[in-house]
Structure 1
Amino acid sequence: MVWGHWNVWGSLVWFGFMFPPADLLSEKDMEVLLQATGCSSELLRPLCRTDCLSERYRSFTGECNNRQHPKWGAANTAYSRWLHPEYEDFRGAPRGWDPEHTYNNFTLPPVRLVSQEVLLTQNDDISLDTSLSHLLVEWGQWIDHDLALTPQSPSTSAFRTGVDCTRTCSRDTPCFPIQIPLSDPRTGIQSCMPFFRSAPSCVGGALAGTPPHHHREQLNAITSFVDASMVYGSSSSLAAALRDSSSRLGRLALNDQASDQGLAYMPYLPRLQGHLDPCGPRRGSVDNFTREQDNITSCFQAGDSRANEHLGMIALHTLFLREHNRLVEQLHLLNPHWGPDTLYQEARKIIGAIHQILTWEHYLPRVLGETATSQLMPTFRGYDPETDPSISNVFSAAAFRFAHVTVQPVVARLGSGYSLSPEHPSLPLHHSLFASWRVVQEGGIDPILRGLLLSPAKLQLPGQMMVEELTERLFQAQGGLPLDLAALNLQRGRDHGLPGYSSWRALCGLSVPNTTSDLADILGSPGLAEKFRSLYGTPQNIDVWVGAISEPPLAGGRVGPLLACLLARQFRALRDGDRFWWEREGVFTGAQRAALHAVSLSRIICDNTRIAHVPSDPFRHTVSPDDMLACNHALIPHLNLSAWKEPDTGNTHSTLKTGPPKDNNITDGL
């Protein structure tokens, strides 16, 4: 326990508390500090039940998925590490904290300069992906929101001086502002962009098979598993709040103030008194619209706090809210003896399996390419309790951010028949961010989904990286000075102490570039290699995210060798280390697995919207609306739920207690 106390002390320093070392504190004092900082729940080992219900349903928190390591993959635990972090000092200062600090005899370039020199792409200077739809891009972010959420420091003021981090360009934890170089067009308008360090974990990190290390670690606030936590939440209390407590069918709660032509929306969040509507139009903007209800916002409530980030995310959240409620109604018809909790849990279990199938069988082969998928993602051979499914730091802070360079600058919205419509005009991307009001006021989710189905993804090429909508206009419509997503990604990797590009190539058994010539061979672009040399001095210093996305894609895929390695390693661990993986014997019956194998995102769209024609493969780019299929086409099969029919035998499964699940770390999944 001594090393645990040491880490708590380290975290208290970072949280801004200046207390004496743990050895000088009484046990009661330590308990108070653990509770005050939130460390108590992180350090407490959960009690795991072994009854039939805990075998049948996963917990909301992810705890006890692995009975020997009950915190593996659980919410509010530290990200795992595949390489030791490289901080600037023993206290965990980020890489680049001191602009004069050298790495391999060179200083690190300002992240905004890297964004400007390597990543910035004009909106009208992009190539389109002729093979993949923009829904594939959206699905990547959707799954990312199922896997990882890094909380920022709970303090927004500098610990030492108390200055507001949004109003200072000084580096004083948790403030780690992004400096604006003198060559930047923004010079004279702003000197820096605000950036908050990620909150530290109370538990020091360790590589598999090694003793604990006391370096700074960051937290994953949600479950690592692909379990549809963005629909249901990663805590019992949130899961309960999202349910319709009056429903005898285990439904999720619906919006009682607005509907989508009779179809459901998510409930609104309450408005904080004295605050503007964060998801509504800004006063004085073109979109001058004010809500009459003062007690609510235009923001929707969901299982993930990022649900309102942009229109595509809202559309998918709404789609799976409706699909859950559709499933519980169908399951009730098959099993009228099932209580609301059984209906809820069985629908949740099916939704989780749908996400696993669509991700592993439909999404990943497009990203990695069929050859790399077969080589790096061997067939499932069963649950391995020795595999840690926790999300790795490099995956969250770098690798799975690859799709940012495939985002289109325009959000297409299409009318009935996939036609352009003045009622649903396309929007610049920055006008769709935190603009939930547009869904209710401008045609619901159907125009957004039609746009995602028919629009191609952006193609990532050297010289065509990230559109200016994301580097120059991020959150511009929300007021204040816009941010830069590329710079934020690079700064986050440095904040988390991610080693440089070459270290990750070595981890994956790939050739390590030592010279500009080596780098040019790997990237297939002498010009890009020379840009990196002028910025970083040596390939060893290149930030892993920008180096990885710069590699040319593998055959049939959309990522290069390094990203393929890192993504496959993470998704293998998520599959093999999940006791509730859908293919594991006993999780579903053989008949249920056979039925699930036919699931289709196009079918889910048909069943939960008024869209009548869809592509047979929604992740493939459909060239023309004429290529869409009617929803009753044989290639858009229904999910056959007959395999879930059970006789009414009065078993414990059919008599679960009624009402939403209660907060209890033992019966969290019930």
Structure 2
Amino acid sequence: MCLAYQVCLIVILQVTTLLHFFFSCFYDHCILNKRVQHLVNRRVHTTIVHATQFFVIITMAKVLCLFVIVQILVFTFVFSDEVPVDDLHDAVNQGLAQVESMLELERRLFAEGLTVDRGTSAHLHSRMVAGSEQQQNTALNAARILAASTRLKNKLNWSADEARRALPLLSLDNTLLKNSCQESITCPPADSIKYRIIDGSCNNQARPDWGKANTPFQRALPDAYADGVFEPRDSSGPTPLKSPRFISTSFIKLGATTANDFTLMLMTWGQFITHDITKASSFTSADGKTPQCCNVTSGQPLNPEYLHPFCLPIDIPADDSFYQQYGQTCMTFVRTQVGADYSCSLGHAEQLNGITHWLDGSMIYGSSSSELDSLRLGRGGELKNSTSGGMELLPVRPSCSDATCYYAGDVRAQENPQLATVHTLMMREHNRIARALSQLNPLWSDEVIFQETRRIVIAQLQHITYTEYLPAMLGEQAMRDYKLTPAAVGTYAQYDAATAGDPSVWNEFAAAVFRVGHSQVQGNLVLYDSNDVAVQDQTFTLSNYFFDASKLSEPGFIANATRGLTKQMPLAINPEYTSQLTNYLFKGTKAYGMDLVALNVQRGREHGIPDYNTVRVFCGLPKATNFEDLANEIDQTTIDSLKTAYDSVDDIDLYIGCLAESSRPVNGSLLGPTGLCIVARQFAVTKNNDRFFYDVGNQPGSLIIGQLDEIRKTSLARILCDNNNGDVNTMQPKAFRAPVATSNNERQQCSLIPSMNLTLWKDPKATPSKASMVLPSILAISFSALLLI
């Protein structure tokens, strides 16, 4: 059947069915009114009238269901049954062969040394986006499915839109790719799961894969792949999109405008929780090697025959104001690992989230049993740690070849010293609580102490995020509009498994919108002593300490960094960045590094993220027909910069568009309307679909109301006070806000900041009774007496 005929058939059947539905509803409505009026005139009992109304409503519902069924049948008939089985199997065989050819090419390239060199910016970047062995296996299977999808799409000459509609309807159950699909998950009964499963599975019994680690991101909008499968988003016009580096240098300004009402901890906590819910890992080989995508000797692009298929290098203009002096015209970029979902069908690429999609402390505890086992001490419910000068620090990986390799639940823990500081403080908080619970409940096992402590720490993490961090980022009005505020004191939130949706992180959020927080990063970090005076000789430049957390072991660093993070102001969210990110990112031993803005732009394109104009319409704004239509959301200076960077308003990358909007943030928020919309909706998805969210009641793992109210007393300020070995004695109550008297948030004694009462976790059954202690006491006295004889 020709494609034109298929499309005509779809339109005719849809219109016919829709007209049938509306005429049926109109006819039933008229008949209903006549019958009801007739019954009323005859003074028939109200119950009979209501029964008649109910009967007609049921009839209308049946017609609606018929309409839906016809739509499914139409698409199944047109796109599934009309694809010859031989074509499907041929595409599968070709896809398998294509991936085998890729692996053979990879082996040859790696044998010739075309992997990123240790100590280079590309190598440090690969550490930031490294994936696990399980991720690599999943990604390879998904690559086979994508190759088959592309082959079939090309064979049948489908457009990108046709491929988006048709491919997901083609099952792989009876093909050689069946083994590439995700295996189903079996869960224990819901009422037996008191604590979160470490990989995030079985939160929703009907869909146990939802939220699980190593499952794909979901999308708020349809993908924008150029071919409908995997090719990066292209321009809306005849000329290609401009290079991400050109976008960066044309749009981003090097500046230092600060957000004077906030502290650098706001930026750091944003990165910390981002690493709890998103981790898009770049492609690596089975043994963890990352392909080199540029000629490291000349700084030029590689010849095509030496380019790995997952390479997508960024072109650097020859006249680039910074890289020109180093002869660099190519920046290495490796595409993200893709994943296969549980539908076992062909389709477009969905990038893999290597960690759980829940806000569940995975950056502290890991997202797999093996990661968790490597972090647990094995006694007293505590996490492993190392010590230096009597200070409790993150554990050190013994096989590390670098100066110091601290590790935590996320491989990015030591990406920068301030992030490593927060990781250290949260590890200390876990161990502090574990010790307190152990004293309260001496009969509790290591497992019970650990799980109860983990549950408390996750609750603290969620409470701080939804009551301190998000109100600062989004504003109180948005918190109300999107129903993000947790339940009030003395009450529970409700969870209904039947209505809970997919909690998976939105690709638009992870690959574009939330990355605007990078603009808050300061290039130089200032530390403060106990008198809140800057310690000049401890101030450091960020680019010198990427993936180098050696400062953690310096005497007083954690306490001074804590004071610095809660006193130094971040940069404002706007199109101004520190050069530490745009020119010196991960520079290692070189004189230059990478450009984070360019990487973010390229990441959004290769993920198939729709353009800014499309997403702003999704968020309720009018579609812009030209750059001047953006004037209500973006100031004129920024619009002029967009004109320089882009040929069309329809080409603006979502990440860049949200940065531009921040020039005119929504009242009370740090974000513009589109950025606020996506961030708020994402955190609503994360909260509302989580059966284990800290304030949810009537679940096996729910906190009792007294415990919950103690969690509500927690604050980031209290955690900072409790975990600095007594070296931090003052802190402002709202740690994300500047410590100033005008906002009633000046520094105060830590003793004045509310703390949790952990005695609410005392278990009478886990406390030795006085009677049970009598015999051991008698034996001890007797033994002592014998020693004296």
The answer to whether TM tops 0.5 is: yes
Deviation at 1:642, TM superposition (A): 1.8
**Partner of 1:146 in structure 2?**
276
Change (3 A) 1:378 1:481: closer
Change (3 A) 1:62 1:561: same
Q: Secondary structure at the match of 1:497?
A: coil
Q: Secondary structure at the match of 2:765?
A: coil
Work out whether 1:187 is the aligned partner of 2:320: no
Q: Secondary structure at the match of 2:258?
A: strand
Work out whether 1:483 is the aligned partner of 2:594: yes
Is 2:440–2:767's contact at 8 Å kept on the other side of the alignment? Answer: no
**Partner of 1:453 in structure 2?**
566
Give the partner amino acid of 1:632: S
Q: Secondary structure at the match of 1:219?
A: strand
Deviation at 1:130, TM superposition (A): 1.8
Correspondence list, 1:618-637, <5 A = 618-623=735-740, 627-633=746-752, 636-637=753-754
Work out whether 1:521 is the aligned partner of 2:632: yes
Work out whether 1:432 is the aligned partner of 2:545: yes
Any idea what the Cα deviations from partners look like across 1:198-254, whole Å, max 9, x if unmatched? 01213399xxxxx96600111000001111110000001110110112x2x111111
Q: Secondary structure at the match of 2:260?
A: strand
Is 1:389–1:573's contact at 8 Å kept on the other side of the alignment? Answer: yes
Deviation at 1:522, TM superposition (A): 2.4
Change (3 A) 1:399 1:36: closer
Give the partner amino acid of 1:564: L
Change (3 A) 1:187 1:517: same
Correspondence list, 1:48-87, <5 A = 48-50=187-189, 53-54=192-193, 56-87=194-225
Q: Tell me the distance in 1 between the aligned counterparts of 2:697 and 2:406.
A: 37
**Partner of 1:588 in structure 2?**
703
**Partner of 1:411 in structure 2?**
525
**Partner of 1:291 in structure 2?**
none
Q: Tell me the distance in 2 between the aligned counterparts of 1:618 and 1:8.
A: 57
Work out whether 1:46 is the aligned partner of 2:185: yes
- Structure 1, unaligned stretches of length 5 or more? 20-32, 97-101, 206-210, 281-297, 652-670
Is 1:120–1:471's contact at 8 Å kept on the other side of the alignment? Answer: no
**Partner of 2:447 in structure 1?**
341
Give the partner amino acid of 2:560: P
**Partner of 2:250 in structure 1?**
117
Work out whether 1:473 is the aligned partner of 2:588: no
RMSD: 3.1
Deviation at 1:337, TM superposition (A): 1.6
- Tell which structure's C-alpha radius of gyration is larger: 2
* Count of residues paired in the alignment: 588
Larger relative contact order (CA 8 Å, sep ≥ 6)? 1
Q: Secondary structure at the match of 1:67?
A: coil
Give the partner amino acid of 2:636: P
**Partner of 2:515 in structure 1?**
401
**Partner of 1:266 in structure 2?**
394
Q: Tell me the distance in 2 between the aligned counterparts of 1:4 and 1:351.
A: 50
Change (3 A) 1:10 1:334: farther
Work out whether 1:196 is the aligned partner of 2:342: no
Q: Secondary structure at the match of 2:641?
A: helix
Q: Secondary structure at the match of 2:677?
A: helix
Give the partner amino acid of 2:423: H
Is 1:15–1:153's contact at 8 Å kept on the other side of the alignment? Answer: no
Deviation at 1:107, TM superposition (A): 2.6
Q: Tell me the distance in 2 between the aligned counterparts of 1:318 and 1:88.
A: 43
Change (3 A) 1:11 1:650: farther
Any idea what the Cα deviations from partners look like across 1:240-272, whole Å, max 9, x if unmatched? 110112x2x1111111xx42x422111111335
Is 1:367–1:557's contact at 8 Å kept on the other side of the alignment? Answer: yes
Is 1:499–1:544's contact at 8 Å kept on the other side of the alignment? Answer: yes
**Partner of 1:27 in structure 2?**
none
Deviation at 1:156, TM superposition (A): 10
> What is the aligned counterpart of 2:264 among 134, 138, 141?
134
**Partner of 1:103 in structure 2?**
236
Deviation at 1:413, TM superposition (A): 1.4
Q: Tell me the distance in 1 between the aligned counterparts of 2:100 and 2:710.
A: 50
Work out whether 1:174 is the aligned partner of 2:310: yes
Change (3 A) 1:603 1:379: closer
**Partner of 2:351 in structure 1?**
218
Correspondence list, 1:385-400, <5 A = 385=497, 386-400=500-514
Q: Secondary structure at the match of 2:764?
A: coil
Q: Secondary structure at the match of 1:218?
A: strand
Deviation at 1:637, TM superposition (A): 1.1
Is 2:141–2:180's contact at 8 Å kept on the other side of the alignment? Answer: yes
Give the partner amino acid of 1:388: D
**Partner of 2:690 in structure 1?**
578
TM-score, with length taken from structure 1: 0.82
Q: When you count helix as a share of all residues, which structure comes out higher?
A: 2
Change (3 A) 1:235 1:480: farther
- Displaced runs of 4+ in structure 1, greater than 6 A? 1-9, 33-36, 38-42
Q: Tell me the distance in 1 between the aligned counterparts of 2:181 and 2:212.
A: 10
**Partner of 1:598 in structure 2?**
713
Is 2:523–2:541's contact at 8 Å kept on the other side of the alignment? Answer: yes
Q: Tell me the distance in 2 between the aligned counterparts of 1:299 and 1:180.
A: 33
Q: Tell me the distance in 2 between the aligned counterparts of 1:522 and 1:254.
A: 48
Deviation at 1:602, TM superposition (A): 1.1
**Partner of 1:25 in structure 2?**
none
Is 2:138–2:339's contact at 8 Å kept on the other side of the alignment? Answer: no
> What is the aligned counterpart of 2:535 among 412, 415, 421?
421
Give the partner amino acid of 1:405: S
Work out whether 1:607 is the aligned partner of 2:745: no
Change (3 A) 1:156 1:401: farther
Q: Secondary structure at the match of 2:310?
A: coil
Change (3 A) 1:239 1:527: same
Correspondence list, 1:276-315, <5 A = 277=402, 280=403, 298-315=404-421
Identity %: 32
Q: Tell me the distance in 1 between the aligned counterparts of 2:93 and 2:632.
A: 46
Q: Tell me the distance in 2 between the aligned counterparts of 1:5 and 1:84.
A: 28
Correspondence list, 1:489-528, <5 A = 489-523=600-634, 525-528=635-638
Give the partner amino acid of 1:47: T
Change (3 A) 1:330 1:506: same
Change (3 A) 1:10 1:453: farther
Q: Return 69-78 or 471-480, whichever deviates more.
A: 471-480
Q: Tell me the distance in 1 between the aligned counterparts of 2:496 and 2:97.
A: 36
**Partner of 1:441 in structure 2?**
554
**Partner of 1:284 in structure 2?**
none
Deviation at 1:103, TM superposition (A): 2.0
**Partner of 1:362 in structure 2?**
468
**Partner of 2:176 in structure 1?**
none
Deviation at 1:491, TM superposition (A): 0.5
Deviation at 1:412, TM superposition (A): 1.1
Deviation at 1:384, TM superposition (A): 4.0
Q: Tell me the distance in 2 between the aligned counterparts of 1:520 and 1:511.
A: 12
Change (3 A) 1:36 1:350: closer
